[in-house]
Amino acid sequence: MQLTLWTYEGPPHIGAMRVATAMRGLHYVLHAPQGDTYADLLFTMIERRDARPPVTYTTFQARDLGADTAEIFKTACAEAYDRFRPEAMIVGASCTAELIQDDPGGLARALGLPIPVIPLELPAYQKKENWGASETFYRLVRALSGPAPAAGAPRRGAEGRRPLCNILGPTALGFRHRDDVTEITGLLGRLGIGVNVVAPLGASPADLARLGAADFNVVLYPEIARAAAQHLQRTFGQPMVETVPIGFSATTRFVEEVAALACVDPAPVLDEHGSRLPWYTRSVDSTYLTGKRVFIFGDATHALAAARVARSELGFAVVGLGTYTREFAREVRTEAALHGVEALITDDYLDVEAAIQAANPELVLGTQMERHVAKRLGLPCAVISAPVHVQDFPARTSPQMGFEGANVLFDTLVHPLMMGLEEHLLGMFHEDREFHDGAAPSHLGPRARVPEPVNTVTVAAPAAGISWAAEAEKELRKIPFFVRGKARANTERFARERDLALITIETLYDAKAHFGR
């Protein structure tokens, strides 16, 4: 067992909770000891939900282990049904309660409740959160979507109606899932395609029973919905679209694919996409930013999409690509090979930090953990994947998907680099009469009170056995912060190879000339 400060994913019952919290009319009874009820905070404090998750905990204590914990679970189930009257119930155990092997599914069935009760078997010591969400959604769809139609039976839905699809995958606590659904629903509407059911987000058990009425399924988040969509494909013969519409090119392919399945013309939507991203390639900004080195880490869906957008649409060089979603390691390794890098498959943020330092990127795209790592290393960073914090659940609509999502993603990736250029220019002129640290803001007039100067420039600690002269440190600070780490590392390597204990300005410039050849 490894003690860690951060974790990319919780145990699988947190994934089940994300599905339950996203839906209506579904209740989750979780066999868990006192202390395993912390997950409420994820939804009420981070996602800013105005209600607690629909979860009942047994919260047994240590003294209960010598008695009948099974009876505690049965009582909790019965009381949860009497209190909430859900349309369906899922039951399972937390990672701790799993060890006492009380069989929540069998205990719940013995109660004979007049609603569907779906047992969850989520091996907490082998699997994690995204897998738990996927398995929970799959179990719900398999139990509630109905049996396969009889051989020769006509497809559901009236002839002459407009084509229908299901949107699958968005959950509670997902990165921009709410906004992605809004954007993609609007995009499909402009194509003349109706949305039959969105699930899990906003769906009820009764809605899941209507899944078979759609003509095809749109899988927005494969980590969550691929297994359920494959079941629907086998059961109802529904094809699925797995192209994730993140970025201009991927959204264009997505529109073409759904239009082909629905037998509609994609041209009106493609001609009026409203994306500003193609304009970027003709702008001055693209000339400055082409070739910028970017390191990407996150869940598989967002990491893969960010890598393709960074390389193909923004002209960046991907120098690192990885994911903590081990179930999608093959796809990430394949994409990484296209960029000439080795994929990083890990759930240890310290491994990610070491890989970032080794890659010397100019931009980091990742989770909230990479945001903290990049801040410590003095690198610009943008968050493109869960896990995230409260600031990544904005009040405004800010999708990652669709043509508007391409605009949002453009801002997300480009702005940190542009602000880095501005900070560098201010740093270059910090001794100028107008821009030095003691100068008051120009709009306040010449007699404005000047605040005490604050040194906001951070420089990483020197390597062991090597020190920097004050003049060399001052010169190093003039280098743009997004390449300062690389300059420091190269200079210290240059000094180490020549047994130099003190780095002077001359050493700094000698190293620059050496590595610039």
> Hey, what are 297's tokens?
């880490």
The residue with greater pLDDT, 69 or 81, is 81
Per-residue pLDDT band for 117 (boundaries 50, 70, 90) equals very high
Give ∠ CA 184-187-189 in degrees, rounded to 5: 110
pTM score of the predicted model = 0.81
> Hey, what are 306's tokens?
């960010």
What is the reported pLDDT for 61? 67
Asked if 180 is an active-site residue, the reply is no
Kindly state whether residue 266 falls inside one of the protein's structural domains: yes
Q: Across residues 315-340, what is the average pLDDT?
A: 96
What is 289-312 written as a DSSP string?
HTT-EEEEEESHHHHHHHHHIIII
| 242 vs 216: CA distance, rounded Å | 11
- Domain extent, residue 69, equals 12-128
CATH code of 500's domain? 1.10.8.550
What is the reported pLDDT for 431? 54
Number of H helices, E strands in the chain: 20, 15
Kindly state whether residue 139 falls inside one of the protein's structural domains: no
Query: Are residues 399 and 303 both part of a single domain?
Result: yes
* DSSP designation for 396: S
What is the reported pLDDT for 455? 42
Contact 481, 377 (CB under 8 A): no
Average pLDDT, the chain: 85
For 185, phi and psi rounded to 5 degrees? -60, -45
Kindly state whether residue 193 falls inside one of the protein's structural domains: yes
What is the reported pLDDT for 252? 95
Provide the angle, in degrees to the nearest 10, between the axes of the packed helices 481-497 and 402-428: 60
Query: Are residues 177 and 254 both part of a single domain?
Result: yes
**For the segment 159-215, what is each residue's pLDDT rounded down to a tens digit?**
567 899 999 999 999 999 999 999 999 999 999 999 999 999 999 999 999 999 999
How far, rounded to the nearest angstrom, does the alpha carbon of residue 104 sit from its chain's CA centroid? Answer: 31
Per-residue pLDDT band for 100 (boundaries 50, 70, 90) equals confident
| 235 vs 210: CA distance, rounded Å | 13
The residue with greater pLDDT, 61 or 118, is 118
Per-residue pLDDT band for 134 (boundaries 50, 70, 90) equals very high
Domain boundary (273, 295, 322) is at 273
Encoded amino acid at 67, one letter: A
The residue to which tokens 């009381």 are assigned: 79
* DSSP designation for 443: G
Query: Are residues 267 and 304 both part of a single domain?
Result: no
What is the reported pLDDT for 52? 87
Query: Are residues 283 and 411 both part of a single domain?
Result: yes
**For the segment 238-295, what is each residue's pLDDT rounded down to a tens digit?**
999 999 999 999 999 999 999 999 999 999 899 887 666 666 666 656 667 788 999 9
Counting the structural domains of the chain, the total is: 4
What is the reported pLDDT for 274? 66
Kindly state whether residue 383 falls inside one of the protein's structural domains: yes
202-234: buried (b, 16+ CB within 10 Å) or exposed (e) per residue?
ebbbebbbbbbbbbbbbbbbbbbbbbbbebbee
Per-residue pLDDT band for 54 (boundaries 50, 70, 90) equals very high
Query: Are residues 380 and 494 both part of a single domain?
Result: no
Query: Of 354, 320, 347, 382, which is closest to residue 175 (Cα–Cα)?
Result: 382
Most confident of 310-324, 383-397, 424-438: 310-324
| 204 vs 457: CA distance, rounded Å | 52
Query: Of 376, 383, 375, which is closest to residue 413 (Cα–Cα)?
Result: 383
Q: Across residues 347-354, what is the average pLDDT?
A: 94
How far, rounded to the nearest angstrom, does the alpha carbon of residue 89 sit from its chain's CA centroid? Answer: 28
Residue 314 has pLDDT above 60, yes or no: yes
Residue 66 has pLDDT above 70, yes or no: no
Residue 118 has pLDDT above 70, yes or no: yes
What is 138-185 written as a DSSP string?
HHHHHHHS-PPPPTTPPPSS-TTSPPEEEEE---TT-TTHHHHHHHHH
Out of 285, 348, 351, 411, which one is annotated catalytic?
A: 285
| 323 vs 371: CA distance, rounded Å | 15
Query: Are residues 267 and 309 both part of a single domain?
Result: no
Residue 9 has pLDDT above 60, yes or no: yes
Query: Are residues 113 and 207 both part of a single domain?
Result: no
Kindly state whether residue 221 falls inside one of the protein's structural domains: yes
Most confident of 131-135, 268-272, 309-313, 504-508: 131-135
Query: Are residues 94 and 206 both part of a single domain?
Result: no
What is the reported pLDDT for 162? 87
Sign of the torsion formed by the C-alpha atoms of 9, 11, 12 and 14: negative
Task: Tell whether residue 421 is among the known ligand binding residues.
Answer: yes
> Hey, what are 215's tokens?
């003509």
Residue 19 has pLDDT above 90, yes or no: yes
**For the segment 35-53, what is each residue's pLDDT rounded down to a tens digit?**
777 777 778 888 888 888 9
SS3 (DSSP) at 188: helix
Domain boundary (248, 273, 298) is at 273
Query: Are residues 122 and 31 both part of a single domain?
Result: yes
> Hey, what are 147's tokens?
């049996």
The residue with greater pLDDT, 153 or 499, is 499
> Measured in Å, how far apart are the chain's first and last C-alpha atoms?
47
Kindly state whether residue 88 falls inside one of the protein's structural domains: yes
Kindly state whether residue 169 falls inside one of the protein's structural domains: yes
CATH code of 341's domain? 3.40.50.1980
Task: Tell whether residue 42 is among the known ligand binding residues.
Answer: no
Query: Are residues 313 and 229 both part of a single domain?
Result: no
Give ∠ CA 230-224-156 in degrees, rounded to 5: 40
Q: Across residues 395-412, what is the average pLDDT?
A: 91
* DSSP designation for 399: -
Kindly state whether residue 133 falls inside one of the protein's structural domains: no
What is the reported pLDDT for 83? 95
Task: Tell whether residue 50 is among the known ligand binding residues.
Answer: no
Query: Are residues 225 and 258 both part of a single domain?
Result: yes
Per-residue pLDDT band for 146 (boundaries 50, 70, 90) equals confident
Number of residues written out for the chain = 517
Q: Across residues 435-447, what is the average pLDDT?
A: 53
Residue 95 has pLDDT above 80, yes or no: no
Residue 121 has pLDDT above 60, yes or no: yes
| 281 vs 1: CA distance, rounded Å | 48
Residue 74 has pLDDT above 70, yes or no: yes
The residue with greater pLDDT, 426 or 511, is 511
**For the segment 487-510, what is each residue's pLDDT rounded down to a tens digit?**
888 899 899 999 898 999 999 888
Q: Among 57-66, 115-124, 265-274, 365-374, name the one with the lowest average pLDDT.
A: 57-66
Residue 443 has pLDDT above 80, yes or no: no
Domain boundary (128, 153, 174) is at 128
| 334 vs 337: CA distance, rounded Å | 5
Query: Are residues 264 and 316 both part of a single domain?
Result: no
Question: 493: buried, middle or exposed (CB in 10 Å: 19+, 13-18, 0-12)?
Answer: middle
